[in-house]
Amino acid sequence: MNLTHLTGSSLLVATLFVIAPNDAYAYLDPGTGSYMLQIILGVLLGAAFAIKAFWFRIRAFFGGLFSRKSKGR
């Protein structure tokens, strides 16, 4: 997918959200400060979350190998 296409569809989606009469989103104001912090924290905590998930998958993989071997015996 090229960049123009992506921007085009995002624009379309954004426009749809602006004009959609059924839009019931966000009656709360997230607050600019809270939003900014989420962007920064999201990078940090998201990375930690991804590493943790990856680590569990590695453990599960080796755990699976080990239990298969045990069954083989």
Q: Which residues bind another protein (CB under 8 A)?
A: 21-28, 30-39, 41-50, 52
Count the Cβ atoms, other than its own, within 10 Å of residue 38: 13
Taking the complex as a whole, the smallest distance from the CB of residue 51 to another protein amounts, in Å, to 10
Long-range contacts of 68-72 (CB under 8 A, 24+ apart): none
Task: State which residue, 30 or 72, has the beta carbon closest to another protein.
Answer: 30
Task: State which residue, 20 or 60, has the beta carbon closest to another protein.
Answer: 20
Q: Which of 38, 58, 34 is nearest to 46 (CA)?
A: 38
Task: State which residue, 22 or 70, has the beta carbon closest to another protein.
Answer: 22
